[in-house]
Amino acid sequence: MELLDAIATTRAIRRYRPEDISPQDLASMFFAATRAPSGSNRQPLRFVVLRKGVHAVAAKAVLGNAFRAGWAAKVDADGYQNGSGQTSDSPKTRMRNTMQHFVDQFEQTPVVVLACLQRYRAPTPGEGGSVYPAVQNLLLAARSLGYGGVITMWHEPVEEQLKSLLGIPSEVTISAVIPLGRPVGSHGPVRRRPLAEMVFEDEWGSPAPWANDPDGVAFTQAGPPRPHPPQS
Amino acid sequence: MELLDAIATTRAIRRYRPEDISPQDLASMFFAATRAPSGSNRQPLRFVVLRKGVHAVAAKAVLGNAFRAGWAAKVDADGYQNGSGQTSDSPKTRMRNTMQHFVDQFEQTPVVVLACLQRYRAPTPGEGGSVYPAVQNLLLAARSLGYGGVITMWHEPVEEQLKSLLGIPSEVTISAVIPLGRPVGSHGPVRRRPLAEMVFEDEWGSPAPWANDPDGVAFTQAGPPRPHPPQS
């Protein structure tokens, strides 16, 4: 697949067909992931791949419960039941249905990847510079091979339980959990804010004159729905 | 460019030809960068692009000094002058020469990108999940268009000075600085640890039977040189 096309169409995929990912494709995806850079090329990232093994089944169950709890909290916090969330065909309702299906079916996800950082110093906000480039490579490679996934963080409340279950050493943190599988439905162009809102030149807030979206691009609002939407 | 080929050959590029990056190519690169995912699709990332403007020149000078100081500290800490660092053609010496050239010429870097995170909560180790996927997209897109760059963190000691110079709001952090330009020399396959060391299945430390590198792949040691190398 052409690189820029792959990047422009790698969406978060949360509904998976039941089929497995072939070992050859897994090898290609993790070869791609591990080509990413890391600070001083330390390569402190490790992947634990959960498929159908005995530990995988147990860990997926722990994660499924955590994801359902995480999503339930978010429904309340972000007001997914309010406003247009009461209309059956609104974007908010469609997102709520997709997310509910995602967490309800979590245990059936064909492959769940734990992106683990072997820390060599105290946690910092910048340590993700040695983790998330590889995770993005993984998602792009998955896209190019006909799979899809999403970066999630709902494992955090059960991180210690997972580490104990999977024998993950104490100095290692689970930086992200990435479910993967063959998508139900299709990939397609991702929507983002207009480029002019996100790219400045020479100083903060100063529009870059060249920062124009390609013709015909559709945009999206940023972020989750507002908890208290303004009356319209 | 084909995606998996691009991923496998996107190396850290630290030597740049003097030519500029065209506005069309910049637009393509930042369109690619901003397609990356972010937590709840909040899209909290902003890019400040430094080229030849008045603030850019001043900011590159501040960064150049910080990078030279950062590199000087690393030469000492990681023993770049010791052991094989005393031999003119060793990998350690070649890396030291490349790095010294990189920091000495920093002000001449055609384009310097500040990846800025507009925080909406206290800093966390996971916040990079909304930053570094976009940075990786940027580097991959640059690669496919004939440019190259590298993720750096040596701005940290001068972050407040930079923010003041460029009008960056207090709640925004600079998560990385990415110099970009047309490479002197060529791209080529990146070398990493063997896949078997980095990918486990079902539990920590358990090799994934399918995690094999492609035939003919060359490997590398991980990390910087050891400060006190064993006698050989």
3-state SS of B15-53 is CECCCCCCHHHHHHHHHHHHCCCCHHHCCCEEEEEECCC
Of A128, A193, A214, the CB nearest to B43: A193
At A181, the amino acid letter reads G
Nearest-CA distance A123 → chain B (Å): 6
pLDDT in tens, chain B (232 residues): 999 999 999 999 999 999 999 999 999 999 999 999 999 999 999 999 999 999 999 999 999 999 999 999 999 998 998 988 888 888 889 999 999 999 999 999 999 999 999 999 999 999 999 999 999 999 999 999 999 999 999 999 999 999 999 999 999 999 999 999 999 988 889 999 999 999 999 999 999 999 999 998 999 877 777 654 444 4
Query: pLDDT tens-digit profile of A134-144?
Result: 999 999 999 99
Phi, psi of A79 (to 5 degrees): 65, 40
Helix (H, G, I), strand (E, B) or coil at B84: helix
Sign, CA torsion A51/A57/A58/A62 = positive
A223 vs B: CB within 8 A: yes
Q: What is the CATH number of domain B3-186?
A: 3.40.109.10
Quick one: pLDDT at residue B227?
Answer: 52
Which residues 200-219 of chain A have a CB within 8 Å of chain B? 200-205, 208-214
Nearest-CA distance A232 → chain B (Å): 22
Residues of B in contact with A154 (CB under 8 A): none
Q: In chain B, whose CA is at the least distance from the CA of A27?
A: B211
Whole-angstrom Cα distance, residue A144 to residue A5?
A: 10
Quick one: pLDDT at residue A221?
Answer: 76
Helix (H, G, I), strand (E, B) or coil at A113: strand
Residues of A in contact with B153 (CB under 8 A): 39, 126, 129
Average pLDDT, stretch A155-174? 98
ipTM of the complex: 0.95
Going along chain A, which residue ranges are E strands? 45-50, 111-118, 148-149, 172-181, 199-201
Interface contact A167-B195, CB threshold 8 A = no
* CATH superfamily, region A3-189: NADH Oxidase (3.40.109.10)
Of A176, A202, A211, the CB nearest to B30: A211
Give the total residue count for chain A: 232
Residues of A in contact with B51 (CB under 8 A): 201-202
For chain B, give every domain's residue range: 3-186, 191-222
Interface contact A144-B3, CB threshold 8 A = yes
Count CB pairs under 8 A between chains A and B.
278
Nearest-CA distance B139 → chain A (Å): 10
Sign, CA torsion A204/B66/B84/B14 = positive
